[in-house]
Amino acid sequence: SMSPVYESSRTAIQGTQASLILFDMTHLQDGCPSGQTNSRRKMIQTRFPSDLCTAIRLVETGGHPDPANAVGAAGEIGPLQITEEAWIDAIENDPSIGGEYGHCRGLEYSQRIFVAYLDRYVEIDGPDEVLARTWNGGPYGASRASTAPYWGRVKEALDLVRDSQMDRESRGKGDQQGE
C-alpha cells in the first residue's frame, strides 16, 4: 500500500496538472496564445540536460557501443531508450517538439522527449527518484516496487556523474589559483 505522504503528494501533483491543463484550454478557448505555457516550457527545457538525464542515459545505454542505434527488449530506441508510447505521450504534452519517433535516436531530441514525458505525469522539479522511477515504470512508476532496482542503478550513476563534476570543478579552481 502507498504511504499517506505519497498519496497526498500524488493528489497535489494531479491537481497541479489539472489546473495547468485547464489554464491551457482556457487560453485556447479565448483565442489567446498561452504565452505563460510557452515560457514555462522554455524554463523546463533549460533545466535539462541534467545530471539525472545523464545518469539515466548511462543506465539505459552506457555500455552500448552505439547508443543512438541501441534497441531495447520492448523496442525502445536511442540513448534514453524511448518507447513509441512514451514518445506519443511526450509529444501530446508538448507539441512544439515536433519531429517523428525515429528522432529519439538523437540525444538532444531524446532529452526534450524525456522532459515533456515527465512533465506530463509528475512535478518536473520533483525528487530525482520520482522522475527516474516514472521514466522507467510509466505514469505510476514512482509507486511500483518493480522500479526500485532501476532507481538504485540510476542513483549509483547519478553519484558518479556528480562526483566527476565536483572533480572537474575543483580542478578548474585549482588551475585558476595557479595563475
Q: What is the pLDDT of residue 69?
A: 92
Q: Grid coordinates standing for 110?
A: 531524446
- What H or E segment, with its residue span, contains residue 141? none
Separation of alpha carbons 160 and 49, rounded Å = 16
Separation of alpha carbons 37 and 94, rounded Å = 10
State phi, psi for 60 to the nearest 5 degrees. Answer: -70, -45
Separation of alpha carbons 160 and 108, rounded Å = 21
Q: What is the pLDDT of residue 32?
A: 32
Residue segments in the chain with a per-residue pLDDT below the cut of 70: 1-49, 174-179
Q: Which amino acid is at 163?
A: D
Query: What are the tens digits of pLDDT across the range 17-50?
Result: 333 333 333 333 333 333 445 666 666 665 665 8
Q: What is the pLDDT of residue 6?
A: 40
CB 144 within 8 A of CB 137: yes
